[in-house]
Every structure is written in structure tokens, then in C-alpha cells.
Structure 1
Amino acid sequence: MHRFLRTEKLLGTPGLKRLAESRVLVVGLGAVGSYAAESLARAGVGTLGLVDFDFVNVTNINRQLFALESTLGEEKTQAAVRRLLDINPSLKAEPIRLFVNNESVEQLIQWKPDIVVDAIDSLNSKVALLQGLAGADIPVVSSMGAALRRDPSRIKQGTIGQTSGCPLAKHVRQRLRRRGVRLDIPCVYSDEPVRFRYEEPESEPQEEHRAGEAKDGRPRRVLGSLSTLTGIFGLTAATMVIDHILDTPRASR
């Protein structure tokens, strides 16, 4: 018996083969992205690009799979690769330490993914990634705001244009419209009301650094979140990616 026997029993040998031949890029390895990346590795995806610029710190432990006492201070990409190879030694896992912006997104496009998981929580970086992928006609599943929520029944699948009740999604919609990007990008979001006014400086790192302080010294607003909700976001995004791979012939990807 092999490690993906139960996946094969559900999806069949052709489905498992499609997953093994796929190239998936996970951008952002925090609360949502870590769950997405790990579930894709456990499902049998053959090649994973793992993108993040940050290091593991103690405040990540409550919700991020790659955040452990043994990984504190490490680059998230390196911690992710080591854990995922422990799950599946045959996985082709590529760490990409990169801060996503309008200039660097081209590097991710050149990686030639079949599909991308956008798990970035910074508005500027998220919009830059989505615009770049749209221009290159690369499919993406985007995660909207998972922080400040407690009700899993309010988590939805849809498109960015269909989102409601999410302050982050509102700003993403506005910026994509201004840049001429269509809003039919698949996403996972929550319509649970939150008492929060989304504000962000012009430039900001993807993830929080130690004690919520940005690497260049600017303070970050720390948002409360639970692994239960952020994990569901990541698992949902991964399921949407798997469905895309299974439903799309490789020649069309």
C-alpha cells in the first residue's frame, strides 16, 4: 500500500496522476496558507512552490502549522519545506523567499504554476499578485479576510465580485476595478460581520514580524484570529484547487 491509497480510492488512478503532475504555488504561508499547503501535499500534489518573506515567531503558534517551538526564528519557507517533505518525501517542494509587489510578481509568473493559492493578508501585495496572475491568465484561488471571525457556518465559496461582509474583500474589489481586473476570481470568504475598519499604509510586509512590528519598524495592527477559522479557509482553498486540477485537462492548464 502507498501513502496516497485513500486519495486514489476516492479520485481514481487518473485523478491521483493529475495531482501528481500538477504545479501549485502557495503564496503566503501563514494561518491560511499553511493549511492549504499541507493539505495539498497530503492530497498528492506533485510540485509545490512555497512563497513567503517572513520568519516564524511565537505569535504565529496559535494558528500556523509551520510555527512550532522548534521552528521559531526560521524562515517560513524553510520550515514549510522540511515539514512537507516529512509528510511526502517525493514531493518537489521549492522555497521561494519573496516579498510580493508589482515588480516581484513576475518571478512567480515565470514559475509557471497550474494554479495559485493567494493567502496573502496584505492589501497591496494581494492586489499586485491578483493583477499579475490575471494578466498572465493563470488561475488563482484567493483567500479574503479570515481574522476576527468565529462562525464557521459563514464561510463561503464564490468570486471576489460576489463577496460581502468582508472589509478586506471590499478594498480588493475597489483596487482591482481601478486596475481593470475582472472580479470573477474564485475565492473563499466569510460574510460574518466584523467590527473593524480596514486601514493599511501604502507599503507593508505580508506577515507580522516579532510582536506585530514590521521589519522596517512600522507598527502593524494585530488582529485576533483562531486556527479553527483560518484552517477552514485554507482547507477550503485547497479543495477548490484540487477541484480545478481534476476538472481541467493538463493541456488546458
Structure 2
Amino acid sequence: MLNEFSRTELLIGKEALEKLKKSRVAVFGIGGVGSFVVEGLARSGVENFLLVDDDVVCLTNINRQLHASRKTIGKPKVEVMRQRVLDINPKANVDIVQDFYLPETAESMLQGDIDYIVDAIDTVTGKIDLVMKANQRNIPIISAMGAGNKLDPTRFEVADIFKTSVCPLAKVMRKELKNRGIKKLKVVYSKEPPLKPMESGDDCATGCVCPEESSKKCTSKRQIPGSVSFVPSVAGLIMAGEVVKDIIGKDNKNV
């Protein structure tokens, strides 16, 4: 009988599709990269999610974040993304946590069985701690490196963190993870040298358009990165593909 995942089943088979349905994936960071990770997984047949992000949709998210539109401005990203997943698959189970990932909040977030962790958060401290927690629990994890200040989506690669180059965030992560004894980490990163954002007449310090409900402000960043629709989205979909392949790979002849 035809269903919403019939075309996927033609590629990976019924058993692999069932495996995806039963898997629970935790996605940390539901922004430009993370929103497309969730979308790719939901449309691949994953039915169980944990979505973690403290932020609400801002006007400036519209250029690149899947859940951002005029109708969703001011709404929590995790709530908007949960509804989007349920619109795709009403049978999905989507747990959400609207909070900022920190070492001290990790234990309360990493609840229940988790088959795969996706790191799409911005802060180095949070990324390192999440990798450490995944390593301690023996949970597979994939981490997004820098997608801001990039224009060429064809430069993304999947690699072990210790085989990366060019990306400034990957450089910091390599050093910090090595110091903590981490031997490997699958990442998606770009070999495109980051561009320097152009100066504009807009000043977030005096003309912020972020919703009042937002717990974070772009003014807290030393430099606001530039972004476009077709770069973080590609990184997110690559990550979704890696998660799917890792979950079903050992048992699927087409992967």
C-alpha cells in the first residue's frame, strides 16, 4: 500500500524504514542547520525526536531557517519545528526542551533512550560538552562546524574532526577535543575560507528586531555572521543523510 514513505522504502527497504521509525534522534540547535536536519529526518521516516533550543524565531531568521516565516516570528523554535514534524507525520513523537544547552543543564536534557545525537549548536563550550556526554554514553553523534560567512554550498565535506582544515571552528574543536582525550568525531564542515561580513548601516544595538521573548540577542555576539539560504540548509541535509545512513547502514545493501 502506498504511503508517505513509499519512495524511501523503494531505496532502503521495509526493514530499514522500520528501523528509522523506531529510532530516536536528539537534535541540539534548531536554527539554520538544525531545522533542516529535523526536516530531512522527518521526511526520511524518523518518528521519534528530542528537539532542544532556547530561542524564538526572529525576523532575521527568515533568510535561512526552515521554520521562520512572518507567521512564526516570536514563537519558540522547538514548538514551531515540532508542529512542522507533526504536519509531515502525525504519528511522530516529538519531545521538546526550550532551554540553552550548558554542562549544568545537560543531564536534564539527555533523558530517555537516544539512538543518535545531532550537534547543531553555536557555542564551543556547549559543543564540546555535548560530544563528551555522547562519548560517555556511547551514543553516535555528528557535529556541525561553521556555516556562517559562507557562500559556496558545494564545499561541505563529511570527515573526522582530526582530518579537517580551513574551518576556524573545527580548529578550535580539534584542540579542545584532543585535550580531553576524544579520538574521533564525525563532522560536516566547509573548506571554503570564511568571508568577512560587509559593514551596513543597520545597528542591532539600536534597532534590534529580535522578539522581546528571545533570551539571546545578536548584540551579545562580537560579530554578527553573514548567512544565506543555500549554505546552512545544505549542511543540515548532509547531516540528516549521515544520520539515516548510520542508523540503517549496517543492514542495508544500498548504503
Do the aligned partners of residues 153 and 219 (structure 1) sit closer, same or farther apart at CA in structure 2, a change above 3 Å counting? closer
Aligned match of 2:51: 50
Aligned match of 2:235: 233
CA distance in 1, matches of 2:227, 2:147: 7
Aligned match of 2:226: 224
Task: Report matched runs for 1:32-43 at 5 Å.
Answer: 32-43=33-44
Aligned match of 1:105: 106
Compute the displacement of 1:209 (Å). 8.8
| 1:188 and 2:188 matched | yes
Compute the displacement of 1:216 (Å). 11
Paired AA for residue 193 in structure 1? P
Match of 2:230, SS state, is helix
Q: What stretches of structure 1 move > 4 A for 4+ residues in a row?
A: none
Match of 2:182, SS state, is coil
CA distance in 2, matches of 1:144, 1:190: 8
CA distance in 1, matches of 2:115, 2:105: 19
Aligned match of 1:202: none
Do the aligned partners of residues 215 and 150 (structure 1) sit closer, same or farther apart at CA in structure 2, a change above 3 Å counting? closer
> Do 1:144 and 1:188's aligned partners in 2 also have CA atoms closer than 8 Å?
yes
> Do 1:54 and 1:209's aligned partners in 2 also have CA atoms closer than 8 Å?
no
| 1:127 and 2:122 matched | no
Do the aligned partners of residues 248 and 99 (structure 1) sit closer, same or farther apart at CA in structure 2, a change above 3 Å counting? farther
Compute the displacement of 1:139 (Å). 0.6
Greater alpha carbon shift after TM alignment, 214-223 vs 169-178: 214-223
> Do 2:148 and 2:194's aligned partners in 1 also have CA atoms closer than 8 Å?
no
CA distance in 2, matches of 1:220, 1:83: 32
CA distance in 1, matches of 2:104, 2:78: 20
Aligned match of 1:96: 97
Compute the displacement of 1:123 (Å). 1.3
Aligned match of 2:9: 8
Paired AA for residue 246 in structure 2? H
Compute the displacement of 1:144 (Å). 0.5
Match of 2:3, SS state, is coil
Aligned match of 1:200: none
Identity %: 39
Aligned match of 2:175: 174
Greater alpha carbon shift after TM alignment, 219-228 vs 168-177: 219-228
Aligned match of 2:156: 155
Do the aligned partners of residues 9 and 59 (structure 1) sit closer, same or farther apart at CA in structure 2, a change above 3 Å counting? same
CA distance in 2, matches of 1:217, 1:145: 19
Match of 2:157, SS state, is strand
- How many residues are treated as equivalent by the alignment? 237
Normalised to the residue count of structure 2, the TM-score between the two structures is 0.87
Do the aligned partners of residues 10 and 73 (structure 1) sit closer, same or farther apart at CA in structure 2, a change above 3 Å counting? same
Paired AA for residue 31 in structure 2? G
Superposition RMSD in Å: 2.2
| 1:246 and 2:237 matched | no
Greater alpha carbon shift after TM alignment, 166-175 vs 208-217: 208-217
Compute the displacement of 1:217 (Å). 7.2
Match of 1:26, SS state, is strand
In structure 1, runs of 5+ residues without a counterpart are 197-207
Paired AA for residue 220 in structure 2? R
